[in-house]
C-alpha cells in the first residue's frame, strides 16, 4: 500500500485508499464523496497517530531498501521497481520507468504475503490498468501469494523466535502469542475472498516451527460503516488474557512485511498501553521482517521460481 512519510501525506494517502473501488465497492459517484468524507473525518485522529511515531511512517524507505537488496541478490538481468498503491512512487510511475528501461518481462511481486482482493488484487488492478493502455505491453508473471512459502515462513518464524528469547526459557510456556492481522469486512470473506485461509496458511507453518503453548489469531484496525469485521479483535483477546491472569504477551503483526503506522502506533503504543492498563506485565512486539537477509533470500526464491 505504501504509507504516509510525513503528516503532509496523510490526507492524500487516506483519500486514495478510500477511493479504491476494491476497498469501497460502490460506483464512483458514491465512492468519491464517501471517501472524501471518511478521509476528512479520520484526519485529526490519524495525524495524532503519525505525530506519536515521529511525524511519518518509515514504510516507504524500508520498501526501497527491500527493493535494493532484492535487486542486488537477484543479480544480472533483473531490475526491481517499487509500485506503491496509494502514494509515490505509484504503479503508473513504476510502469513508465520500466518502459523507459526496456523491460521485456514483469514479475508482479506483492508485498502482501496473504492474498486478498482488497490488497493484492487492488495492486494487480493498478498494473492491469497500465498494461491496458500500452500498445505493446511486456509479459507479466503474477505472484499471487507467498503465505506458506517455506523461505518466508522461516524468516517470519526467526523474528518471532527473537522476541520469545527475551523471556527466560522457563517462562516461555506461559507466554501468550497474539497473531494480529489487519481486519477485513466479513462480507468479503463470505463472497469468496481467501484472506482468512491465507492467514491460516502462514500460521500453520510458523506454529510448526515455533510450537508455542498458547496462541491466538486476532484482528486489528477494523473500519466502520456498520459492517461486521473479522473477530476476535485484538483488544478483546488482551482483555480475556488479563481476566484469566495470563500476563505475558507477544504480539505478532502477521500481515505486514515492513514497519508502518499499524505496527508502530497500533501495536507499539495503543496495544502496549492497553496491556499495561489491564495488568499485563510483560508485552513484546515482534518486528517485521523488513529487509532482513533471510526475507530477501525468500523473495529471491519466489521470483526465480516464477520466472522459470
| DSSP state at residue 269 | I
Asked if pLDDT for residue 226 goes beyond 80, the answer is: no
Region 270-285: mean pLDDT is 96
Q: How far apart are CA 107 and CA 150, in angstroms?
A: 20
Q: Cβ(289)–Cβ(156) under 8 Å?
A: yes
Of the chain, the percentage scoring pLDDT greater than 90 comes to 96
CATH 3.40.50.11740 fits 150-285, yes or no: no
Name which of 12, 10, 15 is nearest 53 in CA terms.
10
Q: Is the dihedral of CA 201, 122, 223, 2 positive or negative?
A: positive
Q: 253: which 3 cell numbers?
A: 503483526
- Residue 41 pLDDT > 90: yes
Judged against a pLDDT cut of 80, whether residue 224 lies above it is answered with no
CA 296 to mean position of chain CA atoms = 16
Q: What is the pTM of this model?
A: 0.94
Extract the runs of DSSP E, i.e. beta strands, from 195-260.
214-220, 248-253
Query: Which CATH architecture is the domain 59-146+293-307 placed in?
Result: 3-Layer(aba) Sandwich (3.40)
Model confidence at 257: pLDDT above 90 = yes
Pairwise CA distance, residues 257 & 63, whole Å: 9
Spatial separation of the C-alpha atoms in residues 79 and 108, rounded to whole Å:
12
Lowest-pLDDT range of 62-66, 154-158, 221-225: 221-225
- Spatial CB neighbours of 270, under 8 Å, sequence gap ≥ 6: none
Element (H, E) at 306: helix 293-307
Read off the pLDDT of residues 285-302 as tens digits, 9 standing for 90 and up: 999 999 999 999 999 999
106 contacts 138 by C-beta, under 8 angstroms: yes
How much is the pLDDT for 222?
85
| Residue showing cell 488484487 | 121
* 59-146+293-307 against 150-285: fold identical: yes
Catalogue the E-assigned strands of the chain: 105-108, 139-142, 176-182, 214-220, 248-253, 282-285
The better pLDDT of the pair 229, 225 is held by: 229
Query: Please, are residues 234 and 220 in contact by the beta-carbon 8 Å criterion?
Result: yes
Segments making up each domain of the chain, as ranges: 7-50, 59-146+293-307, 150-285
> Per-residue pLDDT for 278 more than 80?
yes
Task: Assess whether pLDDT exceeds 90 at residue 182.
Answer: yes
Half-sphere exposure of 101 (CA within 13 A, CB side): 15
Bigger pLDDT: 218 vs 224: 218
pLDDT digits (tens, 9 = 90+) for 74-101: 999 999 999 999 999 999 999 999 999 9
Contacts 24+ apart (CB under 8 A), 266-269: 266/220, 266/221, 267/180, 267/220, 268/53, 269/52, 269/53
Interatomic CA distance for residues 180 and 265, integer angstroms: 14
The strands making up 214-220's β-sheet, listed across from edge to edge, are: 214-220, 176-182, 248-253, 282-285
* H or E element at residue 36: helix 28-52
CA distance 42 to 45: 6
Amino acid at each position: 500500500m505504501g504509507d504516509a512519510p510525513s503528516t503532509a501525506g496523510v490526507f492524500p494517502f487516506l483519500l486514495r485508499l478510500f477511493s479504491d473501488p476494491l476497498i469501497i465497492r460502490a460506483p464512483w459517484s458514491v465512492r468519491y464523496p464517501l471517501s472524501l468524507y471518511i478521509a476528512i473525518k479520520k484526519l485529526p485522529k490519524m495525524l495524532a497517530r503519525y505525530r506519536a511515531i515521529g511525524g511519518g511512517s518509515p514504510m516507504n524507505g524500508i520498501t526501497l531498501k527491500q527493493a535494493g537488496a532484492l535487486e542486488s541478490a537477484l543479480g544480472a538481468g533483473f531490475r526491481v521497481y517499487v509500485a506503491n498503491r496509494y502514494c509515490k512512487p505509484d504503479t503508473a510511475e513504476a510502469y513508465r520507468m520500466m518502459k523507459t528501461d526496456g523491460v521485456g518481462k514483469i514479475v508482479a511481486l506483492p508485498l502482501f504475503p496473504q492474498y486478498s482482493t482488497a490488497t493484492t488484487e487492488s495492486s494487480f488492478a493498478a498494473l492491469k490498468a497500465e498494461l491496458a493502455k500500452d500498445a505493446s505491453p511486456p509479459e507479466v508473471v503474477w505472484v499471487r501469494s507467498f503465505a506458506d512459502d517455506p523461505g518466508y515462513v522461516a524468516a517470519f518464524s526467526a523474528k518471532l523466535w527473537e522476541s520469545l528469547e527475551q523471556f527466560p526459557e522457563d517462562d516461555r510456556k506461559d507466554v501468550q502469542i497474539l497473531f494480529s492481522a489487519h481486519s477485513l469486512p466479513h462480507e468479503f470473506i463470505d463472497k469468496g475472498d481467501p484472506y482468512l485461509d491465507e492467514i491460516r496458511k502462514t500460521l500453520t507453518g510458523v506454529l510448526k516451527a515455533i510450537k508455542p503453548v498458547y496462541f491466538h489469531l486476532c484482528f486489528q484496525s477494523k473500519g466502520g460503516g456498520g459492517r461486521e469485521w473479522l473477530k476476535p479483535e485484538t483488544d478483546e483477546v488482551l482483555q480475556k488474557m488479563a481476566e484469566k491472569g495470563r500476563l505475558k504477551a507477544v504480539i505478532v503483526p502477521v500481515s505486514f512485511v515492513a514497519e508502518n503506522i499499524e505496527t508502530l502506533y497500533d501495536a507499539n503504543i495503543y496495544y502496549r498501553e492497553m496491556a499495561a492498563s489491564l495488568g499485563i506485565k510483560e508485552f513484546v512486539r515482534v518486528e517485521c521482517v523488513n529487509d532482513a537477509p533471510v526475507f530477501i533470500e525468500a523473495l529471491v526464491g519466489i521470483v526465480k521460481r516464477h520466472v522459470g
